[in-house]
């Protein structure tokens, strides 16, 4: 880059001082003896002489080089010395000239001086006179040259400083003592869009955003009383209105202000104005904003994160305490999120989270805070509620907002959420307690079937502690051999024998005794332990059936239960068929019980997996048949092999609507050529009624409770309890 004045700026450093330079002197005279003697007479250190005998020769010398002084004879053979003066003038040369002449006429003197001669020495002259004249001319010339050099240096320096100021990327300006612009560099036009000349005499404060104007006003004011301190300040300067778009923005700058002091009387400096440098820090500010946004927001949904939520909750609690008001914290968890995430992948899981977040946001007021605090978990702060009904109203609105399915890449998905609610001050007075209690309430919703809301109640706390204990113990139960299978016989009344057993899992807890799978299976699902547990069940059940078959009980079938999550595993079909094959069992001897609820949710891939299992010969029974709503639709779709009449119908046998339902189920089983089992048969009368309606195979406490393998085997050889009628 070439900076104007730079060359000169550098040259002056290398420049030889003017008085130390060699002076070149040209002696022009037709008198040969003078041409020879004058160089000796005028000799001095740092002087160099050349000679010429006529105008023509003199001009030739001048064309060849620059001289400092010409000692010029007036009368020359080819013309007068005036011709040399004319030549110098024409060629804008600045050599000093001492004209030497024998002319007496004043006109000759005037003519020579007018044409630019510096001095005039009349012949005959005294040597000292000429020496003085030469000395004076050279001295004058040296002064002129030094002066010129100084002027040039000053101009170069000014050019350089102007260049530095005007091409600075920063805004550079000076203000008068009243804070009005008296200089501003052109950068203002690029940065703020104002014309420089429009700003002159305008107050600097007029550029500052109103929010920052008090600060700059007080800093400028302080300069009058304490002008000795410079300052640095971050400000926002407004931009000129963009007339096309009709909008104006602002620019964040770091302003460094340096007071300018004048020379007061007695040498004291008074404040005369301010020198300011304002640096554009908008990029840095943006970066700071992004960093701060990231620290307080969730990247996926751009909602506040846990940190910001707690901050807002803390603030809302302080305000609620002050005005003796109340507030609500809602804990929202997406149901079946893991299913979507594990089955369709994370991008689909992300889309579900974003979709739910958008629906939740749309139900809330601007003063409420919605935050994403975990994978599929959100919290909501309702900072000012009139009563619990306000929180309940919001919970209902949330459920309603999710009624319309969300459009995911793999198709529409009807998302549901479980919502727990904690109210300040009734359910807690601190951030921690309220969030924890809302979370506990949400867990209760999960446990009682998801898709709902409930308020925290103190007794939930105890249950929650119990659940945490179960969670911890369950993680090691399998390794410590605390799980066991019990078997409940399935009896055929017509054959009067046990035709099958259902393998039912038990957790033999060292402190709490036998724990029902109804309690720990949902927890195992949530903890992601269900796959491991189901593999163990499958292995045990197949090994047991193989052992029984070896001992001659080859007409007994084995049913076992799988969880919804098992069908999300890609390898479930291979796992089942491999296990059956490894134990040398006919696949038709194994039946997998899956719930009607599971089928109806149309869990991704379930249909295909059920088909493949059926193709492999494995039986598929629908547990709790009849409790769903679209039973017939999936019976058409799926090649299942058996139906189990739900225990709730059996319990209600004799009721107004129950018998027709059971008859219908029996009809469906016949129509689709499916095996049929009634479960939950507790009384002889129920068994008799079921038989009367056309159901032959039954399971229930009336015949036998789930028992250990040896006890179950003993029952294979015994006729089951009789059923009269
Ligand atoms: N994923 C898995 N789920 C399993 C497994 N083992 C069991 N389960 C499921 O847990 C639920 C509770 O089971 P459980 O406590 O074992 O209860 C079963 C029977 O004990 C009970 N039953 C049987 N007869 C009667 C009766 O006459 N009355 C009555 N009140 N209850 C009775 O019913 C349960 C069996 O139900 P079902 O499976 O629907 O046939 C339960 O949902 C099990 O499915 C497992 O290994 N994996």
Which element (helix H / strand E) includes 119?
A: strand 119-122
Q: How far is the CA of 537 from the centre of ligand 1 (A)?
A: 14
Distance CA 433, CA 15 (A): 82
Ligand 1 pocket mutation pick from 477, 539, 544, 561 by most atoms within 8 angstroms of CB? 561
Q: How far is the CA of 508 from the centre of ligand 1 (A)?
A: 16
Strand pairing class (411-413; 406-408): antiparallel
Residue listed under structure tokens 């096309």: 244
User: Distance between alpha carbon 662 and the CA centroid of its chain, in Å?
Assistant: 58
**Burial group, residue 12, by CB count within 10 angstroms (0-12, 13-18, 19+):** middle
Supply 581's token pair.
Answer: 């094959």
Q: How far is the CA of 706 from the centre of ligand 1 (A)?
A: 9
C-beta of residue 643 within 8 angstroms of C-beta of residue 665: yes
Residue listed under structure tokens 């040296």: 142
C-beta of residue 203 within 8 angstroms of C-beta of residue 274: no
Q: How far is the CA of 647 from the centre of ligand 1 (A)?
A: 10
C-beta of residue 462 within 8 angstroms of C-beta of residue 444: no
Domain boundaries 6-162, CATH class:
alpha beta
Distance CA 144, CA 134 (A): 15
**Burial group, residue 356, by CB count within 10 angstroms (0-12, 13-18, 19+):** buried
Nearest CA to ligand 1 atom 37: 623
Supply 47's token pair.
Answer: 């002087």
Distance CA 537, CA 517 (A): 12
Q: Delimit the domains of the chain by residue range.
A: 6-162, 168-241+249-262+269-286, 297-456, 480-716
Euclidean distance between the first and final Cα of the chain, in Å? Answer: 112
Instruction: Pick the closest to residue 352 from 363, 339, 362, 369 (CA basis).
Output: 339
Q: How far is the CA of 582 from the centre of ligand 1 (A)?
A: 27
The predicted structure's pLDDT at residue 212: 93
Ranges of residues in the chain with a pLDDT under 70 are 1-20, 104-105, 242-248, 264-269, 597, 599-604, 627-633, 656, 725
Q: How far is the CA of 592 from the centre of ligand 1 (A)?
A: 13
CATH 3.30.450.20 holds for 168-241+249-262+269-286: yes
CA distances in angstroms from 428 to 452, 457, 458, listed in the order given: 22, 11, 10
* Pocket lining: 700 vs ligand 1, CB cutoff 6 Å: yes
Helix axes 55-64, 82-90, angle to 10 degrees: 30
Fold annotation for 480-716: TIM Barrel (3.20.20)
Q: How far is the CA of 558 from the centre of ligand 1 (A)?
A: 14
Cβ count near 721 (within 10 Å): 12
Nearest CA to ligand 1 atom 26: 680
Instruction: Pick the closest to residue 527 from 499, 570, 565, 490 (CA basis).
Output: 565
Residue 153 pairs in a beta bridge with: none
**Burial group, residue 2, by CB count within 10 angstroms (0-12, 13-18, 19+):** exposed
CATH 3.30.70.270 holds for 297-456: yes
User: Distance between alpha carbon 544 and the CA centroid of its chain, in Å?
Assistant: 55
Distance CA 433, CA 50 (A): 106
Distance CA 655, CA 401 (A): 38
Supply 96's token pair.
Answer: 């000093």
Ligand 1 pocket mutation pick from 447, 484, 504 by most atoms within 8 angstroms of CB? 504
ipTM of the complex: 0.94
Q: How far is the CA of 504 from the centre of ligand 1 (A)?
A: 6
Q: pTM score > 0.90 for this model?
A: no
Ligand 1 pocket mutation pick from 517, 621, 698 by most atoms within 8 angstroms of CB? 517
* Pocket lining: 525 vs ligand 1, CB cutoff 6 Å: no
* Pocket lining: 532 vs ligand 1, CB cutoff 6 Å: no
Cβ count near 331 (within 10 Å): 29
Q: Is 288 helix (H, G, I), strand (E, B) or coil?
A: helix
The predicted structure's pLDDT at residue 242: 56
Distance CA 296, CA 288 (A): 12
Q: How far is the CA of 680 from the centre of ligand 1 (A)?
A: 9
* Pocket lining: 488 vs ligand 1, CB cutoff 6 Å: yes
């Amino acid at each position: 880059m070439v900076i104007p004045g730079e060359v000169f700026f550098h040259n002056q450093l290398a420049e030889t001082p003017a008085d130390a330079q060699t002076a070149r002197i040209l002696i022009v005279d037709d008198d040969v003896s003078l041409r020879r003697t004058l160089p000796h007479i005028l000799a001095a250190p740092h002087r160099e002489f050349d000679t010429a005998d006529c105008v023509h020769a003199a001009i030739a010398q001048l064309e060849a080089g620059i001289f400092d002084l010409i000692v010029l004879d007036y009368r020359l053979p080819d013309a007068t010395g005036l011709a040399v003066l004319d030549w110098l003038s024409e060629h804008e040369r600045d050599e000093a000239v001492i004209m030497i002449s024998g002319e007496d006429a004043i006109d000759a003197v005037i003519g020579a001086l007018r044409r630019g001669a510096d001095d005039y020495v009349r012949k005959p002259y005294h040597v000292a006179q000429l020496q003085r004249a030469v000395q004076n001319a050279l001295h004058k010339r040296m002064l002129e040259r030094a002066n010129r050099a100084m002027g040039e240096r000053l101009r170069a320096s000014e050019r350089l400083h102007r260049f530095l100021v005007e091409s600075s990327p920063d805004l550079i300006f000076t203000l008068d003592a009243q804070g009005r612009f008296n200089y501003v560099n052109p950068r203002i036009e690029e940065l703020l869009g104002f014309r420089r000349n429009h700003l002159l005499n305008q107050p600097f404060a007029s550029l500052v955003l109103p929010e920052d104007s008090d600060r700059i006003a007080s800093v400028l004011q302080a300069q009058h009383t304490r002008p000795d301190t410079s300052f640095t300040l971050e400000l926002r300067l407004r931009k000129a209105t963009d007339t096309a778009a009709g909008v104006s923005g602002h620019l964040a700058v770091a302003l460094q202000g340096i007071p300018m002091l004048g020379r007061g009387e007695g040498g004291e400096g008074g404040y005369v104005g301010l020198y300011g440098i304002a640096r554009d820090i908008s990029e840095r500010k943006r970066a700071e904003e992004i960093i701060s946004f990231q620290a307080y927001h969730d990247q996926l949904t751009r909602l506040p994160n846990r940190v910001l939520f707690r901050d807002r909750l803390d603030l809302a609690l302080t305000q609620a305490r002050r005005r003796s008001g109340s507030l609500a914290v809602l804990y929202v968890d997406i149901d079946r999120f893991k299913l979507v995430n594990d089955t369709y992948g994370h991008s689909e899981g992300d889309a579900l989270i974003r979709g739910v977040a958008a629906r939740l946001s749309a139900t809330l007021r601007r003063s409420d805070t919605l935050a994403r605090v975990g994978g599929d978990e959100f919290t909501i702060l309702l900072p000012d509620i009139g009563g619990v009904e306000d929180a309940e109203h919001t919970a209902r609105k949330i459920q309603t907002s999710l009624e319309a399915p969300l459009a995911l890449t793999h198709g529409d998905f009807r998302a549901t959420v479980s919502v727990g609610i904690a109210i300040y001050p009734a359910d807690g007075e601190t951030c921690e307690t309220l969030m924890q209690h809302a979370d506990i309430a949400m867990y209760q919703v999960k446990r009682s079937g998801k898709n709902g809301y409930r308020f925290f109640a103190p007794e939930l706390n105890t249950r929650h502690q119990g659940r945490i204990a179960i969670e911890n113990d369950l993680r090691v139960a399998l390794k410590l051999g605390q799980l066991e299978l019990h078997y409940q016989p399935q009896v055929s009344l017509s054959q009067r024998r046990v035709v099958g057993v259902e393998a039912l899992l038990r957790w033999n807890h060292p402190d709490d005794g036998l724990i029902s799978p109804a309690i720990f299976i949902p927890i195992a699902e949530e903890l992601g332990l269900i796959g491991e547990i189901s593999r163990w069940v499958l292995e045990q059940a197949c090994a047991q059936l193989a052992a029984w078959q070896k001992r001659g009980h080859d007409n007994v079938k084995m049913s076992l239960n799988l969880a919804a999550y098992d069908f999300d595993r890609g390898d479930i079909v291979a796992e089942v068929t491999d296990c059956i094959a490894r134990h040398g069992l006919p696949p038709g001897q194994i039946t997998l019980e899956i719930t009607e609820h599971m089928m109806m949710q149309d869990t991704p891939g379930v249909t295909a997996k059920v088909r493949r299992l059926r193709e492999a010969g494995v039986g598929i029974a629908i547990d709790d048949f009849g409790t769903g709503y679209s039973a017939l639709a999936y019976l058409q779709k799926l090649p299942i092999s058996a139906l189990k009449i739900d225990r709730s119908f059996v319990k209600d046998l004799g009721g107004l609507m129950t018998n027709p339902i059971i008859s219908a189920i029996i009809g469906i089983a016949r129509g689709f050529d499916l095996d049929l089992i009634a479960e939950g048969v507790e009384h002889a009368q129920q068994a008799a009624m079921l038989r009367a309606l056309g159901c032959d195979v039954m399971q229930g406490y009336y015949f036998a409770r789930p028992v250990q393998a040896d006890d179950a085997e003993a029952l294979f050889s015994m006729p089951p309890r009789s059923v009269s009628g």
